[in-house]
Structure 1
Amino acid sequence: MTRDPRWEEQLFALFDDLEQQAEAAFAAEREGEVAEQARSAYAEVALAARLMAAVGAPVSLTVEGVGALEGTLQRVAAGWCLLDVAGQGWIVRLPAVQVVRGLPARSVAEAAWPVTARLGLGSALRRVAEARDPCRLLLRDGTTYDARLGRVGADFVEAHLGETPPGTRTGPVLVAFTALAAVHPL
């Protein structure tokens, strides 16, 4: 019995075709898995991680109770950032940030942040209080206080207001961190 060489060629061609189809199906499935993993991983990226990638760059922030701020992002830390706006350092609480423009597409994982980035808002406000310079506190509801900062608690700051009318209670106003949008020097 003689073998037809074309039959073997056709069989090998069929096997090659099936193998190519299997590789294409695997690649398509793998591409879908990679895309899903990328979406899932990006769902874990926080605003602060995106901001951290922009330190030293110009950005635009829209802040609740304040409005638009444009400047150079100087520092990002746990729950706040420092924005240089026309030579003034603005401490901005991240929960009050509504819109950000001008960020690069990348982010910086929290594990790669400098140790100082782990300092909370209280640390930044303590530095302002130690300087004893007057500042403006801008609240998320639009209220402003011109004051000197006093003691800083776990979740509030004492704001010593300027002149108080006769017959009014004296002493500091306590401002909860959750109400605060931004602080800047006067």
Structure 2
Amino acid sequence: MGWEEELFALFDDLEGRASALYAAERDLELADRSRAEYQQVTLAGRLMASVGRRVTLGLHGPGPVSGTVERVARGWLLLAAGEHDWVVALDAVTSVGGASERAVPEVAWSPITRLGLASALRRLAEAGEPCLLHLRDGGRHDGVLRRVGADFCELAEAEGRRTVLIAFSALAAAQSRA
């Protein structure tokens, strides 16, 4: 082998090493960037990507509930679970099983998803359907939603014709009874 061939072999070897170092450095940078980007992912974003999927939610109060994610919005989600739909307060969710690996950032959500928990509960109140309100402490109230305020709802209980005010901060989920 002549000196030119040795020189080209050396250059090829150096080029291969440089490519390997660049690839290793690039992989580390991509991993760092991926971790930094994932910090922006929210539970609501993961659930939004899970619309149409069957999931199991762990909830403060009622415990695990399984069903299909029908809708996700600011602060709540709609879960179809057989005959009964659940309006679930997102901050009452403790765990999610079966969620999509992807996420949908809030900037890509429809303007309708900006409606809060009060809007979902108002729809139940307007329908006049019986429902069961599950509290985060495990308590339950059965009746018909009458009115919904800024941070509470008013429930006419089925049995005693008594009206109960439920603070949103105590509410885990509303389950339809129709």
Q: Determine whether 1:50 maps to 2:46.
A: yes
Q: Residue by residue, what CA displacement relative to the aligned partner does 1:26-63 show, whole Å, maximum 9, x if unpaired?
A: 11101110011111111211111111112122111111
Paired residue secondary structure (2:129): coil
Matched, 1:65 2:61: yes
1:71 shift after superposition? 1.3
1:163 Cα deviation from its structure 2 partner: 4.6
How far 1:86 moved relative to its partner?
1.3
Residue of structure 2 in register with 1:76 after alignment: 72
Match of 1:11 among 3, 7, 11: 7
The structure 2 residue matched to 1:181, chosen from 153, 169, 172, is 172
Determine which of 19, 22, 25 is the counterpart of 1:26: 22
Q: Which residue type is aligned with residue 149 of structure 1?
A: L
Larger C-alpha radius of gyration, 1 or 2?
A: 1
Give 2:103's aligned residue: 107
One-letter amino acid of the structure 2 residue matched with residue 22 of structure 1: A
Say if 2:110 is the partner of 1:119: no
Poorly superposed stretches of 4+, deviation over 3 Å: 162-165
Unaligned runs of 5+ in 1: none
Q: Count residues in correspondence.
A: 177
The partner residue of 1:142 within 109, 132, 138 is 138
Q: TM-score, normalised by structure 2?
A: 0.91
Aligned with residue 133 of structure 1, among 129, 135, 138: 129
Deviation at 1:178, TM superposition (A): 1.4
User: SS in structure 2 opposite 1:55?
Assistant: coil
Q: Percent of aligned pairs with the same residue?
A: 53
Give structure 2 stretches of 5+ with no counterpart.
Answer: none
